[in-house]
Amino acid sequence: MKRPFYVTTPIYYISGNPHIGHAYTTAVADVLARAARTEGEAFFLTGTDEHGQKVANAAAAAGKSPQDWCDALVPRWQELFAAFHISYDDFIRTTQPRHERVVQRVFERLRESGDIYLGTYEGWYCIEDETFWLEAKLVDGKCPTCGRTVTWLSENDWFFRLSAYRDRLLEYYRSNPNWLRPKSVYNEMLSLLEEGLDDFSISRTNFDWGIEIPGGGGVIYVWFDALLNYISALDYGTPGAPFERFWPASVQLIGKEIARFHTIVWPAVLWALGEKAPELVFAHGWITVDGRKMGKSMGNATDPFALAERFGADTLRYFLLREAPFGSDFSYSEEKIIARNNDDLGNDLGNLVRRSLAMLTKYCDGVVPSAGEPFIGAALEQIPNRVADAIFDLRFREALEAIWQVVTALNRSIDERKPWELWKRRDDPAAKASLDALMYELCEGLRWLASLLAPFMPEKAAEIARQLGLAEGDHERELRSLRWGALAAGTRSAPGAVLFARIEVAEPSSA
């Protein structure tokens, strides 16, 4: 039996409003989850990372308690995901008791096994950056990132014995070269491992917004707490829990800046618990603006709600997945989104749907005729497999390019076979048969497109299916299993609104 598919996103810091980068990773996970559901059981987890100094500071600045702050912001994130048609199965919050319970249980277990021990942390600490620095890394005795004065700290901390897992990590990396993608991140993490690993401090005593260490002595470091969300959501540790079916995760999606936590610390924690590492961690690239990572602290973040309003969520999803090979950085610009909307989506796809259904109305009273000889379908046989393979291999751009071969083949067949001329000769039975065969294939092609596009553009795919006259939800059930010729003759279409309205580039204001 096929193993269930489990896909995760990072849990996002709830220190402010979401931006398009957060929508990006979550939309990618959504494509995977929707595709996986056509083949079996899938579970898609996302959520919010609510502890730590950063969130506590944001709450304090707003004059709220951290919990009130988080409670007020969570709906904003859920609205974001609704606006982007995200079909998550579970939304975890690290302040939920179901999560805190698992984190404390894991802490206790690892303390018993000796993987967590009490030690002394000494070093130069930059309070602004919340980071310890090796003496050798200081620049003129100051913090190498912000240039501020560092202070010598010596404190008793709980440590995770990360160094003990270095050999196993090296061995794992070498024998599973595809477990971490893309290659650039794999190479970077491998060289970190080769340099050596220190144990990892997992307790904090200088603030209290976190999960309490069992038995007292401060709170658990936010990263140790956060990583465990991937298994606390599966009720880890309870006999018969979903964990037993869904773990190891099929794909864990992250941005490349958090690769070290996910691909060095995380597998070691799992091994310490006697569990498997995830099957694949994919550390994708950044959306950039003028060459810099888009982010809240960078001051260059775009409001994803305003974008969805202006361009439509499906156009944005298409842009984000089509613009660059998955893994690479790519620059965000409104001009590029508009070009994708007007060209690929409006001219190629939208026009195809509009003119096919208009011809169906005119030539066949809007009803799908019986199938004839398949001319178009024969050449497209391999497409569903290619699309599914590309999606599950996280080559989304290639998947979309393969889907566009269907769009191009259908448009070309209209231009070449000129149905309007066959219509003029409709009294000739051969011309009428040829017209019907073509109209059937155009409709069948639209059915395929509704299914192939459903993971990427759920709303527009459903609209294509609706206009074609398919039963609700049918198009979401197939992907790899699509066969040419399954569309029922007699299906009654219901042409409707234009799928992708043209967007005009805003004129620079003259004021």
Q: Name the minimum Å distance from CB 50 to ligand ME8.
A: 9
Only one residue has tokens 């491998």, namely: 190
Site stretch for ligand ME8 (CB under 6 A), options 21-29, 186-194, 231-239, 366-374:
21-29
Burial class from Cβ neighbours inside 10 Å (0-12, 13-18, 19+) for residue 508 reads exposed
122 CB neighbour count, 10 Å cutoff: 12
Give, for 42, the enclosing helix (H) or strand (E): strand 42-49
Residues in contact with ligand ME8, counted by CB under 6 A, come to a total of: 21
261-290 footprint of ligand ME8 as x/- string (CB under 6 A): -------------------------xx---
* Interaction between residue 295 and ligand ME8 (CB under 6 A): yes
Give the one residue of 5, 6, 13, 224 binding ligand ME8; rule: CB under 6 A. 13
Beta strands in 256-401 (DSSP E): 281-284, 287-289, 292-293, 330-331
Q: Name the minimum Å distance from CB 396 to ligand ME8.
A: 14
Q: Name the minimum Å distance from CB 511 to ligand ME8.
A: 31
360 vs 394, beta carbon nearer ligand ME8: 394
* Interaction between residue 91 and ligand ME8 (CB under 6 A): no
Binders of ligand ME8 among 93-112, rule CB under 6 A? Answer: none
113 CB neighbour count, 10 Å cutoff: 12
Please give the structure tokens belonging to residue 511.
Answer: 């004021």
3-state secondary structure of 287: strand
Binders of ligand ME8 among 118-147, rule CB under 6 A? Answer: none
Beta strands in 194-286 (DSSP E): 200-201, 203-204, 219-220, 251-255, 281-284
Please give the structure tokens belonging to residue 75.
Answer: 């709906």
5 vs 326, beta carbon nearer ligand ME8: 326
25-44 footprint of ligand ME8 as x/- string (CB under 6 A): x-------------------
Sheet with 180-181: strands ordered across? 90-93, 42-49, 5-13, 251-255, 281-284, 180-181
Only one residue has tokens 């560092």, namely: 150
Q: Name the minimum Å distance from CB 143 to ligand ME8.
A: 21
76 vs 480, beta carbon nearer ligand ME8: 76
Site stretch for ligand ME8 (CB under 6 A), options 8-16, 240-248, 432-440, 471-479:
8-16
Choose among 99, 106, 109: nearest CA to 232.
99
203 vs 493, beta carbon nearer ligand ME8: 203
Binders of ligand ME8 among 216-255, rule CB under 6 A? Answer: 226-227, 229, 254-255
* Interaction between residue 293 and ligand ME8 (CB under 6 A): yes
* Interaction between residue 47 and ligand ME8 (CB under 6 A): no
Nearby residues of 504 by Cβ (< 8 Å), 6 or more positions away: none
CA distances from 497 to 84, 354, 443, 467, 494 (A): 20, 9, 17, 9, 10
* Interaction between residue 359 and ligand ME8 (CB under 6 A): no
* Positions in the binding site for ligand ME8 (CB under 6 A): 10-13, 21-22, 24-25, 49, 226-227, 229, 254-255, 257-258, 286-287, 293-295
